[in-house]
Structure formats: C-alpha cells, structure tokens
C-alpha cells in the first residue's frame, strides 16, 4: 500500500555532488578540477562571465529591414486633377484634402501621370512628375 512513510527515492535518481579540494586521494585534489593557472583557475571568477560588448550585441534580437523617418508621398493622378478642378483653381494639400483625393493635408503630395493636363491650375507646394513639369513650362 502506498502512503507517505512507504515512499522511497528511486535508486540512481540523483548523482552525489562533486566534492573538490578534499585531498589527492579523492581524485579532485591539488588543482581542484580547475587545471593550471589562467583566469578561470583563480577564485572569484564566474564561468558565466560575458565575453565583452560583441557577445552582448550578438545576443540581442535584431529587427529586420529599415524604416525611413521621411513620410512617403501621397500620389494623385493628373486625370483626377482634370476631373476635380476648374481653370484658375489653386491645387495644394488643403484643396486636394477637401476633394478627398488625399488622406492627409499635412503629408507631402506628388502628382503623377503621363496624360495631358486639360485645366489651367496653379500648383502650390506640390511635387510633380517630369512629364507634368514639362507641360507647365
């Protein structure tokens, strides 16, 4: 029957701890399993000591890729300007935001496209493609 007083440890369950520095007859005397000389044979030196800055850097998980601090341009097509603006209008971040052509009035805007600009509008603080810049000259 199993009870607290009948429970025994399994034979060979745990090895006895290594007693070092208890004379040469024990087999672990003289240098106490530390070998001769050197930093690791001396007292007060941990075997877990870090090996310097490089080892620490190698242990830190790295995040992949690169994220730029500069915001990406919001893209507007020339065809959208042709359909939403009239002659003499001013095209800037605020006017494009009002017409819901861009998501934010504060982020940079770039007008792209190879089609012809049909309306005479004035661009303020807006980047543009080379084909559009050539049309405005």
CATH number of the domain bearing residue 129: 3.100.10
Q: Kindly state whether residue 100 falls inside one of the protein's structural domains.
A: yes
Q: Kindly state whether residue 36 falls inside one of the protein's structural domains.
A: no
pLDDT along the chain (137 residues), means of 10: 90 88 94 90 73 78 90 96 96 96 96 94 96 92
pLDDT number for residue 4: 93
Buried-exposed string 78-91: b where 16+ CB fall within 10 A, e elsewhere: bebbeebbeeeeeb
Q: Kindly state whether residue 21 falls inside one of the protein's structural domains.
A: no
Q: Is this structure's pTM higher than 0.75?
A: no
Q: Kindly state whether residue 129 falls inside one of the protein's structural domains.
A: yes
Using alpha carbons, select from 120, 114, 107 the residue that is nearest to residue 134.
114
Domain count, the chain: 1
Listed in sequence order, the residues at least 6 apart from 80 whose beta carbon sits closer than 8 Å to its beta carbon are 101
Q: Kindly state whether residue 88 falls inside one of the protein's structural domains.
A: yes
pLDDT number for residue 12: 85
Query: Which residue range forms the structural domain that includes residue 107?
Result: 80-136
Q: Kindly state whether residue 41 falls inside one of the protein's structural domains.
A: no
Residues listed for the chain: 137
pLDDT number for residue 47: 65
Q: Kindly state whether residue 92 falls inside one of the protein's structural domains.
A: yes
Q: Radius of gyration over alpha carbons of the chain, in Å?
A: 38
Q: Kindly state whether residue 123 falls inside one of the protein's structural domains.
A: yes
């Amino acid at each position: 029957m199993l009870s607290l007083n009948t429970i025994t440890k399994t034979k060979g369950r745990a090895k006895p701890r290594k007693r070092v520095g208890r004379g040469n007859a024990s087999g672990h005397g003289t240098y106490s399993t530390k070998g001769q000389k050197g930093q690791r044979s001396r007292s007060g030196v941990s075997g877990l000591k870090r090996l310097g800055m490089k080892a620490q850097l190698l242990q830190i998980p790295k995040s992949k890729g690169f994220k730029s601090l500069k915001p990406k341009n919001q893209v507007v097509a020339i065809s959208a300007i042709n359909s939403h603006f009239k002659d003499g209008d001013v095209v800037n971040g605020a006017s494009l935001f009002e017409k819901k052509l861009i998501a934010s009035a504060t982020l940079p805007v770039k007008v792209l496209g190879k089609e012809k600009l049909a309306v005479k509008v004035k661009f303020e603080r807006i980047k543009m493609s080379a084909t559009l810049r050539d049309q405005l000259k």
